[in-house]
Structure 1
Amino acid sequence: MGPMPSVLPDGEPVPEDGALPARALEGAGDRPLGFYLHVPYCATRCGYCDFNTYTASELRGAGGVLASRDNYAGQVAEEIRLARKVLGDDPRPVRTVFVGGGTPTLLAAGDLVRMLGAIRDEFGLADDAEVTTEANPESVDPAYLEELRAGGFNRISFGMQSARPHVLKILDRTHTPGRPEACVAEARAAGFAHVNLDLIYGTPGESDDDWRASLEAAVGAGPDHVSAYALIVEEGTQLARRIRRGEVPMTDDDVHADRYLIAEELLSRAGFDWYEVSNWATSEAGRCLHNELYWRGADWWGAGPGAHSHVGGVRWWNVKHPGAYAAALGAGKSPGAGRELLSEEDRRVERILLELRLREGCPLDLLRPEGLAASRRALADGLLDPEPYAAGRAVLTLRGRLLADAVVRDLVD
């Protein structure tokens, strides 16, 4: 869940000092607190990417000096200090930190460590804090990984996407096949306890055998976590334009379903268990706690251009452009672009939307009568697991995972 979307929603203005309504911190001690740090820089733009990221050429011109990545760690540290002021005497140490992008590892390892240090200085880290960064396989080496580990990072997520050169080419990924697997070994040697590989299925031109080869390569590398996402072709991307021109074919939903089943079969056989529809881990400890924090509606502060935050039913998002972000912080103001105050009904619906995707499912008592009736139909259709249902929870079966979006739409009624 690290990447930030390129389009921000509407919302009410954020106060210049970033102040939250008093109710946002009620009961905060019962909720974990995490930080997401967004690094918006990329060496090149991948053809499928719709995230809030920028290449060097895209940052030339207005705001380019302010947006320089040389200054970026200090800007994020400034927002972390703002967070401390906004959250006041909130005593919670930070449970999870996730640095995403973009390509965080385009920054010097010392810059990532500096941003983590700002969180440690202002809030403190829980003794068992999970500290993750995403990484491009071509942008790290053993020395870089060792510096990250020495600086407090204990989990890393490599963007593998595919093991097949022609699939990587369609995605405009620049790393060479085999490099992500080597990165896993280098991360283990540096002392990282937890390593994830991100995969994408359904790329135009990818075959079932290509997908199996990617899964086998990922498993063979020895990570304890694998994420596998269906490719979504977003309007406005280079890939969408290529499909529209007929240069590459569109992948249909049936192919996505087949690829998901292949992933479940191969990963399960290799000792990975699903714990969220798109995520598998070899143990409870291997799960991504930061993403679970999102899925369970806890509190997190998102620092960086376009980053989203949520504290106690208040959601807000920062200005998109790195130059505007730097200018706001330089003026002593919150970089928040807008916010919304979630109603109890909003939060109920979001719990169903997110928790149903988890292996533990969502409580049936969240459902209204119409949703409860829909859950009984889903149970009869084999989309929900009977045993947890009898205990009061809606848990997706494998077939239900294939149709998760449709099941969720019915249950939120």
Structure 2
Amino acid sequence: MSPSTLPEGEPAPADGALPPEALAGQASRRLSAYLHVPFCATRCGYCDFNTYTAAELGAAPGTSQRSYLDAMAAEMRLAGGVLGEPRPLHTVFFGGGTPTLLPADDLAGLLQTARDTFGLATDAEVTTEANPDSVTPAYLERLVEAGFTRISFGMQSAVPHVLALLERTHTPGRALEAVGWARAAGFASVSVDLIYGTPGESLQDWRASVEQALSAEPDHVSAYSLIVEEGTRFAARVRRGEVPLPQEDDLADKYDLADALFREAGLSWYEVSNWARPGHACRHNLAYWVGDDWWGFGPGAHSHIGGVRFWNVKHPRTYATRLGRGDSPAAGRERLDAEQRRVERVLLELRLHQGLPETVLTPAERRRLPELQRRGWLISAGGYVRVTEAGRLLADAAVRDLLD
């Protein structure tokens, strides 16, 4: 939701106003909020998100946590005015960065501002990401007291040499300890994130990480392959030949192993890289994948309202300065036409276990279906097109060939 680079697009108006067509019919659409916390204790070498350490921000005006909190609250008030019609938030997601670097009372205060501005649905899902070494039992109890219902820990691995190469600061056992604290605090849903394909990680290393994660009995697991993003320290090390690129066959073996172990533990896949126990799929991420409305608050955050995408300026100082003078922090926007929105549905919904309604496809795309079914990548049944078990590893290629 807050990558390090921003797309091109048309200028966004200073008052943040949206085109009338984006607001038409909004009362019938669900609304979510993403709150981007850009602070990190250290920057991991593989990370490409819009994050900053204290050393990078320094003491310049507008870069303090206080300035950030005030600006975030101001953007919420601006969004409330732009949207006009009060719509309760169905999901709220604090991402980063490391949201739990902020004091628990600050996260609670931001959630209260969101509640005061928009209201929360009675069954709202409220999530924060967290590094395992950034929380304590008392911290987690305060979040639950404030209304947080879900937490996602960045475990990544349980193997010391893998954590070291990823530049993670927590010890292998800390993530499991943090999951236990979250359970005791009363979180309704606890998730862990894992990364596979780190250079030097054996299949046995990966099995150990998955098995240790499952030993904590999480409700949800995300497992992503390591992607070498341009501009990161990790990409520079690959370019210098210090570490090799992940190999496709190795990634496939690790995905298959994780999927089998997750299934044995009672977690089913609902999106290509996400598994959950019944009732614990991340509703916030599903909102992205099915094209709901969401407003992204914070530096570099992206939003989507009624077919209009817009994104904020990246740096916390510029973000705070704009809001301090009463302007929108949006750096640009783009209006998606009907065909662009249809193509996005194909791209995103085919990654979901529920699949894509076949009626979304054009006649030409339907004619391509039999060949993709013959390859074993897609299946069509009950009016929906889905990726097969084997096709999950080739989901991007399947979508490309379907749309081609």
Shorter-chain TM-score bucket reads over 0.9
* Structure 2 residue 31 is matched with structure 1 residue 33: yes
* SS of equivalent residue, structure 2 residue 121: strand
| Whole-angstrom distance in 1 between the partners of 2:109 and 2:39 | 17
Shift of 1:72: 2.0
Q: Equivalent residue for 1:394?
A: 385
In 2, the alpha carbon distance for the partners of 1:26 and 1:52 equals 32
Q: Which consecutive segments of 4 or more residues in structure 1 shift more than 3 A?
A: none
Corresponding position: 1:111 with 2:106? yes
State whether residues 352 and 411 of structure 1, in contact with CA within 8 Å, keep that contact through their aligned partners in structure 2. Answer: no
* Cα deviation, residue 25, structure 1: 1.6
Q: Does 2:357 match 1:366?
A: no
- Tell me how far 1:213 sits from its aligned partner: 0.6
Partner secondary structure for residue 286 of structure 1: coil
Contact (CA 8 Å) 2:311, 2:332: kept in 1 or not? yes
Structure 2: unaligned runs, 5 residues or longer = none
Is 1:258 the counterpart of 2:253? The answer is: yes
Letter in 2 for 1:390: A
Give percent identity, aligned residues only.
62
- Alpha-carbon distance in structure 1 between the residues aligned to 2:369 and 2:114: 42
In the alignment, is the contact (CA less than 8 A) between 1:367 and 1:411 conserved in 2? no
The amino acid across from 1:158 in the alignment is F
Contact 1:315 1:340 in 2 (8 A): yes
- Find 1:86's aligned residue among 62, 68, 82: 82
Give the equivalent residue in structure 2 for 1:326. Answer: 320
Whole-Å separation in 1 of the counterparts to 2:366 and 2:381 = 13
Q: Which residue number in structure 2 is paired with residue 245 of structure 1?
A: 240
Shift of 1:410: 1.6
Contact kept, 8 Å, 1:371 with 1:410, in 2: the verdict is: no
2:403 to 371, 387, 412: 412
Query: In the alignment, is residue 193 of structure 1 matched against residue 191 of structure 2?
Result: no
TM-score (ref. length: structure 1): 0.96
Alignment correspondent of 1:177? 172
Q: Which moved more, 1:245-254 or 1:116-125?
A: 245-254
Alignment deviations for residues 293-329 of structure 1 (CA, whole Å, 9 cap, x no partner): 0000000000000000000001000000000000000
Shift of 1:398: 1.4
Deviations 1:65-97 (A, max 9, x none): 201113322221111001100001x23211000
The secondary structure found in structure 2 opposite 1:130 is strand
Give the 5 Å matches for 1:154-173.
154-173=149-168
Match of 2:275 among 241, 260, 280: 280
Shift of 1:363: 1.3
Question: CA RMSD, aligned part only?
Answer: 1.0
Residue 9 of structure 1 corresponds to which residue in structure 2? 7
Which of 60, 66, 71 is matched with 1:70 structurally?
A: 66
**Alignment-mate amino acid for residue 329 of structure 2:** P
Indicate the SS of the match to 2:198: coil
Q: Give the SS at the match of 2:10.
A: coil
Provide the residue aligned with 1:57 in structure 2.
Answer: 55
* Runs of 5+ unmatched residues, structure 1: none
Residue 373 of structure 1 deviates from its aligned partner by 2.3
Residues 378, 398 of structure 2: 8 Å contact kept? no
SS of the counterpart of 2:223?
A: strand
SS of the aligned residue for 1:198 comes to strand
Counterpart contact for 1:314–1:341, Cα < 8 Å: yes
Give 1:390 deviation, angstroms: 3.2
What amino acid is the match of 1:244?
Answer: R
Residue 123 of structure 2 aligns to a residue in which SS? strand
Aligned with residue 351 of structure 2, among 354, 357, 362: 357
Residue 45 of structure 1: aligned partner: 43
Which secondary structure does the structure 2 equivalent of 1:52 belong to? coil
**CA–CA distance in structure 2, aligned partners of residues 189 and 390 of structure 1:** 43
Deviation at 1:120, TM superposition (A): 0.5
Query: What code does the residue aligned with 2:10 have?
Result: E
> How many residue pairs align between the two structures?
404
**Contact 2:45–2:166, Cα closer than 8 Å, also in 1:** yes
User: 8 Å contact 2:222–2:274 — kept in the other structure?
Assistant: yes
**Which residue number in structure 2 is paired with residue 202 of structure 1?**
197
CA distance in 2, matches of 1:382, 1:213: 31
Whether the 8 Å CA contact 1:316–1:340 is kept in 2: the answer is: yes
Indicate yes or no: 2:296 matched with 1:302.
yes
TM-score by length of 2: 0.98
Cα distance, 1:412 vs structure 2: 2.3
Deviates more, 1:151-160 or 1:22-31: 22-31
Match for residue 310 of structure 2 among 307, 316, 320: 316
What is the 5 A alignment of 1:373-384?
Answer: 373-384=367-378
CA contact (8 A) 1:18 1:334 kept: yes
Matched AA of 2:402: L
